[in-house]
């Protein structure tokens, strides 16, 4: 009797092990593709292609350190997307897909970002940077007449907001100290050059070189040879700083 009971228990244990060793759990990628294909009536080839695409995307996300964004997107595809009239509608996952795309392919950097002017491609910007790289400066109201050859920002016709018509309203350029003394009053002196020019002008027109620069620089024209030579000899610090600006 004991021997028969032992055999019965062994058989039951063997049967349980066989039953528990069934198919592996469905992966999120398989779940998505099965749901999508149940709705769209995919062929086996299309189902396989769907799985390949999702596995490749998963690997790409892992390589780009975008696992969280991928997981969030796939969860949305399996939990929130729905079958509608024979089409698997994934539009509800647009935000999650955008987050994943931004992580996988971040927009290129722009060295002019946040300078107050949209530098993305026309007509929104001046085209010095790639699309999506200067979002803060380009988050401005659009100008319907941008790029028509007439400045429509406040300094022009005033029909559009500041920064919305950059091609027609280019930012005013400024001059460094050296450029400014060579062509006085032809443009605005750059803010960073103001103190350098002030020191140069003070030495030239009030200090050591006043007698030599009065007829040129101090009278509003570019310095002549006498003024320039004096500045180089008697005001070398101010002279060199202006040339290096």
Residues 86 and 129 in one domain: no
- Predicted local confidence at residue 23, as pLDDT: 66
- Predicted local confidence at residue 137, as pLDDT: 83
Q: Is residue 23 part of a domain?
A: no
Residues 32 and 91 in one domain: yes
Residues 88 and 138 in one domain: no
Alpha-carbon distance 196 to 188, whole Å?
Answer: 14
Question: The tokens of 228 are what?
Answer: 């320039």
**Residues in the chain with pLDDT values less than 50:** 1-21
- Predicted local confidence at residue 38, as pLDDT: 95
Residues 196 and 216 in one domain: yes
Mean pLDDT of the chain: 85
HSE-CB for 57 with a 13 A CA cutoff:
18
Residues 47 and 84 in one domain: yes
- Predicted local confidence at residue 9, as pLDDT: 38
The last residue of a domain, from among 171, 192, 207? 171
- Predicted local confidence at residue 198, as pLDDT: 92
Q: Is the dihedral of CA 86, 92, 93, 94 positive or negative?
A: positive
Range of the structural domain that residue 36 is part of: 28-104
- Predicted local confidence at residue 10, as pLDDT: 36
Residues 87 and 132 in one domain: no
- Predicted local confidence at residue 18, as pLDDT: 39
- Predicted local confidence at residue 140, as pLDDT: 67
Q: Is residue 6 part of a domain?
A: no
Residues 53 and 99 in one domain: yes
Residues 86 and 33 in one domain: yes
- Predicted local confidence at residue 62, as pLDDT: 95
Q: Is residue 1 part of a domain?
A: no
Q: Is residue 4 part of a domain?
A: no
Q: Which residues neighbour 137 within 8 Å (Cβ) at sequence distance 6 or greater?
A: 113, 114, 115, 116, 117, 118, 119, 125, 163
- Predicted local confidence at residue 142, as pLDDT: 73
The last residue of a domain, from among 171, 201, 219? 171
Give me the count of residues in the chain: 245
- Predicted local confidence at residue 35, as pLDDT: 95
Q: Is residue 120 part of a domain?
A: yes
Domains in the chain: how many in total? 3
The last residue of a domain, from among 48, 71, 104? 104
Residues 156 and 100 in one domain: no
Residues 99 and 137 in one domain: no
Residues 144 and 193 in one domain: no
Residues 148 and 95 in one domain: no
């Amino acid at each position: 009797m004991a021997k028969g009971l032992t055999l019965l228990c062994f058989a039951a244990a063997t049967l349980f092990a066989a039953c528990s060793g069934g198919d592996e759990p469905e992966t999120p990628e398989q779940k998505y593709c099965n749901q999508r294909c149940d709705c769209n009536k995919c062929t086996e080839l299309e189902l396989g292609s769907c799985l390949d695409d999702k596995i490749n995307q998963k690997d790409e996300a892992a390589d780009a350190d975008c696992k969280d964004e991928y997981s969030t997107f796939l969860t949305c595809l399996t939990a929130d997307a729905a079958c509608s009239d024979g089409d698997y509608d994934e539009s509800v996952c647009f935000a999650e897909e955008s987050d994943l795309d931004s992580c996988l392919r971040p927009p290129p950097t722009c060295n002019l970002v946040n300078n107050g002017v949209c530098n993305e491609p026309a007509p929104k910007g001046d085209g010095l940077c790639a699309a999506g790289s200067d979002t803060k400066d380009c988050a401005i109201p659009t100008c319907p007449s941008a790029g028509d050859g007439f400045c429509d920002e406040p300094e022009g016709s005033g029909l559009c907001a500041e920064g919305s018509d950059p091609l027609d309203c280019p930012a005013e350029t400024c001059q460094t100290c050296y450029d400014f003394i060579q062509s006085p009053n032809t443009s605005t002196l750059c803010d960073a050059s103001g103190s350098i020019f002030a020191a140069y002008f003070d030495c030239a027109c009030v200090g050591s070189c006043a007698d030599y620069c009065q007829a040129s620089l101090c009278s509003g024209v570019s310095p002549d040879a006498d003024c320039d030579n004096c500045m180089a000899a008697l005001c070398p610090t101010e002279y060199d700083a202006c040339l290096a600006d």
